[in-house]
Amino acid sequence: MFVDNDSIVRKIWGRSDTVLFIFAGAAAEFAVNKAVDWLYFTGRLPADPLGRLFSTVNYSRQIIFSKRADALKAIDQITAIHKGVEKNRGANIPDWAYLDVLFLLIDYSIRSFEALERKLSYTEKIEVFSVFQRVGERMKLNGLPADYEDYLIMRGRNLQQNLVSSRFTTDLYIQYKKHLGNIRFIILKQVQLLLTPADVKKLLPLGRLCWIYPVLAVYKMLRALKAESFFKNALLPNTYKLQIQSMDNEG
């Protein structure tokens, strides 16, 4: 296996609500990353922002829950897709842009689990880092951190250097609202306020935290009683409902 059966990473990515939180954090950070124009180049992101983000989530889960050979094949497929985009555009995706995506998957895996479950131990955080570090190594990414401490330094630096509010940011949030609808869009922004680092928050039109904490407390209580399904399913986009529900059946 690429990821051990008893790994904390499987527990994090084995619950649909945790994955949706990761999705929410990624949606925020993609919108302000300086390299977001690469996601616009193919036209897929503005045309179907939820589908584009879910594809990132699905590749991550495929790697985490597959046998080693299948996981490596999935990583190689990701590399091939990006190389194809680079060839079509006649330019290379910056090394830091690849690292930013890898780093945000590490960060929001930790933040999402801690928001919904409990604080992770330092050892568990290192385990999360190690799994995605091995993904980066397979992709032959340049400039990977030496260890978890180095990652934390690089993550902080990249948040300061690689984020900007642009016309892509504005357009993406218009598309999020269009594809989610008003209620889900409001919930998305509250979750993003809960999860995202300060460097991301200050560049986004998220408003302010108001009701997410009491709602999250009630949801966690329902979750403990295994009675959260109706509440969760009512909020899921119909297009992805079955796909999201199936996440709870893996791991």
Please state the three-class secondary structure of the chain as a single string.
CCCCCCCHHHHHHCCHHHHHHHHHHHHHHHHHECCHHHHHHCCHHHHCHHHHHHHHHHHHHHHHHCCHHHHHHHHHHHHHHHHHHHHHHCCCCCHHHHHHHHHHHHHHHHHHHHHHCCCCCHHHHHHHHHHHHHHHHHCCCCCCCCCHHHHHHHHHHHHHHCECCCHHHHHHHHHHHHHHCHHHHHHHHHHHHHHCCHHHHCCCCCCCCCCHHHHHHHHHHHHHCCCCHHHHHHHCCHHHHHHHHHHHHCC
**What confidence tens digit (pLDDT) does each residue in 123-169 have?**
999 999 999 999 999 999 999 999 999 999 999 999 999 999 999 99
**Looking at this protein, which amino acid is placed at residue 172?**
L
Residue 251 and residue 11: Cα distance in Å, rounded? 7
Residue 249 pLDDT > 60: no
Q: Considering the entire predicted model, what is its pTM?
A: 0.91
Average pLDDT, the chain: 88
Q: What is the mean pLDDT of residues 172-178?
A: 91
- Of 89, 100, 84, give the one whose Cα is nearest residue 32: 100
Q: What is the structure's pLDDT at 54?
A: 75
Q: What is the structure's pLDDT at 55?
A: 77
Residue 220 pLDDT > 90: no
Q: What is the structure's pLDDT at 180?
A: 87
Residue 179 pLDDT > 50: yes
Q: How far is CA 201 from CA 97, 133, 150, 188, 193, in A?
A: 19, 26, 23, 13, 7
Q: What is the structure's pLDDT at 251?
A: 47
**What confidence tens digit (pLDDT) does each residue in 107-117 have?**
999 999 999 99
Domain extents for the chain? 8-249
Comparing 180 with 165, the larger pLDDT belongs to 165
Share of the chain above pLDDT 90, in %: 56
**What confidence tens digit (pLDDT) does each residue in 31-88 have?**
999 988 877 766 666 677 777 777 777 888 889 999 999 999 999 999 998 888 888 8
Q: Tokens 């999935």 correspond to what residue?
A: 74
Q: What is the structure's pLDDT at 42?
A: 64
Residue 237 pLDDT > 50: yes
Band (234; pLDDT cuts 50, 70, 90): low
Q: What is the mean pLDDT of residues 184-195?
A: 92
